[in-house]
Amino acid sequence: MHKIMLDAGLIARLTADRGRPHVIESLDPARTAHVVIDMQNGFVEQGAPVEVPIAREIVPNVNAIAQAVRAAGGVNYFVQFTTPVGDLDSWSTFYARFSKGVAEGHQDAFTPGAHHWQLWPALDVDASVDRTIEKRRFGAFIPGTCDLDAQLRARGIDTLIITGTLTNCCCESTARDAMQMNYRVIFATDANAALTDEEHNATLHNMAFLFADVMSTQEIVALLQPAMAET
């Protein structure tokens, strides 16, 4: 698990500015979605093309949040990074950052239906109420990448809980754009995973500075407890 190292000075400054440590102090589950980013075999499995070892360690926390959201009456969205099959040229700048062999391997791994594209089997996914969605860029709110925004707005969702991997890539990209599209965002400190503690904590500081409330799994579940007790 990542060692969380939030800068005390930053937290003190934000608390002084707001009068409280977090902007979000309560949750309406009917308007809340838990967005699980890229917890797929291709990122979580040992030896996977984009293995993030700590992603295996956060699974219990991701599941705990998913279970709490579901029990409270919220909705879980499991988002899968997906190769833009048939439109690779639309993202040629990304694939050009790798050798041809590595780029093709990455494309094959995340083609719909491929083993590495599938969700990690240890995730708690209830197909009867949870939703899965494909995205074709890092952030889930880039125009044309997927219809997550449309689905959320159709349900009246205004608050997102972000978990998954990589902290400093797809999770951060999604959270930044979500805030700028006027969603309230909670970014889980111990249910997101990067390759190093340094990268993980850098994103947590970026999130806390402006884009999201940064909370632990325990804090997030506690916010959902009142609604869970009513169901």
Instruction: Report percent pLDDT > 90 for the chain.
Output: 88
Sequence spans of domains, the chain = 8-230
Given a cut of 90, is residue 27 above it in pLDDT? yes
pLDDT digits (tens, 9 = 90+) for 52-95: 999 999 999 999 999 999 999 999 999 999 999 988 999 999 98
Q: What is the pTM of this model?
A: 0.95
Q: What average pLDDT does the structure give for the chain?
A: 95
Q: Which CATH number fits domain 8-230: 3.100.10.20, 3.40.50.12160, 3.40.50.850, 3.40.50.2000?
A: 3.40.50.850
3-state secondary structure of 103: helix
pLDDT digits (tens, 9 = 90+) for 160-191: 999 999 999 999 999 999 999 999 999 999 99
